[in-house]
């Protein structure tokens, strides 16, 4: 007689394989439903075609335009009136003249609304930091950095600056002529994770900017004498320390970060040829016999990422989809997950510059799962996994961020 146990097992195996096949086909179809724009093209949809009322998008466009940032459009003058008032606050990088309030609303990958001039290449200020942290993620993925919890100093040699005179003046002979970012006992305790989360309390001067001079304490006597916080304990938004990370990770890659970003991310997501990542006039170094400009992580003293709204949206779409672009895993899912993990010292901040909506603290009318890449201006790339939604807003009054999101959320009955 046939072995019924055998036939039952065979039946269960076939059924299991069938279920796997159905699941795979379903997953593939879902993946195909996601739209990822090719280079030099981005399909638009009338909002109603993707289930959103047309008037809601018009309301959002009008809201963004009516709530334009009040700062000067000339970014150099704007900087002089704000950060330029700090000690050593003078600009040392390029600035630009900004345009009209600009933005994009993207649902399920399709553009359903836009305003201003999305093609205009402009400063994006601290949104730059999200591109910077991504180059660290790529280095971890490729094994150039074993772990973000590693101390940074064993990875970084003393760095030679470019432009030094052939013959040193007698007054400086015997003084250090190489940049040693992690020479002090305190700096030797800093990990990549601390730099990524802005909790390092790194001490020193880079590109002529002391770390204490960025958003300095009102207590002037403490600027150079205060006790150091243990890395990881205190969050401090500090662009000198961001630039330390930029120089350190460039040293690991052994090539300019704009080249890394272009080859590993921007070309793969179909970005234009117009974006530029700039450093400072005094941030050139020599590495492997090559002159390289160390880029900045924002526009605090000029420089940073100069980019159009479409390319900002492409990066937002990449991070919204957990580092995957049309089936290619460009940034690892694990990295994006880590980037969105709250910093212990500040629960609304992940890796720079992933701002988190933990407990809806930043955006009360957005899902708690939403996150956004944020820079001065205000420049915002809002990423909403709950609704498969991207909002790029440029030159929006910072007080209007939640209002803009709330206007769009009306499309989802929220």
pLDDT digits (tens, 9 = 90+) for 71-87: 999 999 999 999 989 99
User: Is the pLDDT confidence value at 168 over 60?
Assistant: yes
Closest CA to 317 of 27, 36, 30: 36
Assess whether pLDDT exceeds 50 at residue 252: yes
Q: Where are the beta strands (DSSP E) in 215-275?
A: none
The residues near 81 (Cβ < 8 Å, ≥ 6 apart) are 71, 72
Work out the mean pLDDT of the chain and round it to a whole number: 91
CA 408 remoteness from chain centre: 23
Over 60: is that where the pLDDT of 15 sits?
no
* pLDDT value, residue 65: 97
Residues 33, 34, 36: CA angle, nearest 5 degrees: 135
Name the region of 230 (left: φ>0; alpha: ψ -120 to 50; beta: rest): beta
Q: Is the pLDDT of residue 350 over 90?
A: yes
Residue 1: per-residue pLDDT: 46
Using 50, 70 and 90 to split pLDDT, how confident is the model at 10? low
Q: What pLDDT score was predicted for residue 223?
A: 87
CA 171 to each of CA 167, 205, 311: distance values in angstroms, whole numbers, following the listed order? 12, 20, 48
């Amino acid at each position: 007689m046939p072995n019924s146990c055998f036939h039952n097992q065979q039946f269960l195996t076939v059924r299991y394989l069938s279920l796997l096949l159905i699941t795979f086909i379903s997953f593939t179809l879902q993946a195909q439903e996601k739209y990822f724009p090719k280079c030099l093209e981005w399909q638009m949809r009338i909002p109603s075609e993707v289930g959103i009322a047309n008037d809601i998008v018009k309301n959002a466009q009008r809201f963004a335009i009516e709530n334009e940032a009040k700062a000067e459009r000339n970014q150099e003058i704007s900087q002089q009136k704000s950060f330029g008032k700090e000690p050593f606050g003078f600009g040392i990088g390029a600035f630009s003249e900004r345009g009209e309030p600009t933005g994009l609303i993207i649902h399920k990958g399709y553009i359903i609304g836009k305003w201003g001039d999305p093609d205009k290449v402009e400063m994006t200020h601290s949104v730059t930091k999200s591109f910077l942290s991504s180059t660290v993620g790529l280095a971890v993925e490729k094994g150039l950095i074993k772990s973000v919890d590693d101390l940074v100093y064993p990875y970084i040699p003393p760095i030679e600056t470019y432009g030094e005179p052939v013959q040193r003046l007698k007054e400086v002979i015997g003084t250090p002529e190489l940049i040693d970012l992690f020479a002090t006992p305190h700096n030797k305790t800093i990990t990549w994770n601390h730099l990524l989360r802005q909790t390092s309390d790194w001490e020193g001067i880079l590109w002529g900017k002391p770390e204490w001079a960025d958003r300095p304490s009102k207590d002037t006597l403490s600027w150079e004498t205060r006790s150091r916080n243990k890395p990881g304990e205190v969050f401090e938004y500090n662009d000198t320390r961001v630039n330390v990370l930029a120089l350190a990770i460039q040293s690991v890659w052994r090539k300019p970060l704009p080249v890394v970003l272009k080859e590993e991310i921007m070309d793969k997501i179909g970005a234009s040829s117009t974006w530029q990542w700039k450093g400072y006039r005094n941030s050139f170094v020599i590495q492997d016999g090559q002159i390289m400009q160390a880029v900045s992580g924002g526009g605090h003293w000029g420089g940073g990422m100069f980019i159009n709204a479409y390319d900002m949206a492409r990066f937002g779409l990449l991070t919204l989809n957990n580092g995957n672009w049309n089936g290619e895993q460009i940034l690892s899912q694990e990295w994006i997950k880590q980037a969105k993990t709250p910093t212990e010292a500040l629960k609304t901040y992940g890796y720079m510059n992933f701002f988190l909506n933990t407990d809806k603290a930043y955006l009360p009318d957005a899902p708690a799962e939403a996150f956004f890449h944020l820079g001065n201006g205000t420049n915002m790339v809002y990423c909403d996994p709950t609704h498969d939604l991207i909002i790029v807003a440029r030159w929006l009054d910072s007080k209007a961020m939640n209002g803009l999101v709330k206007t769009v959320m009306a499309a989802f009955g929220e």
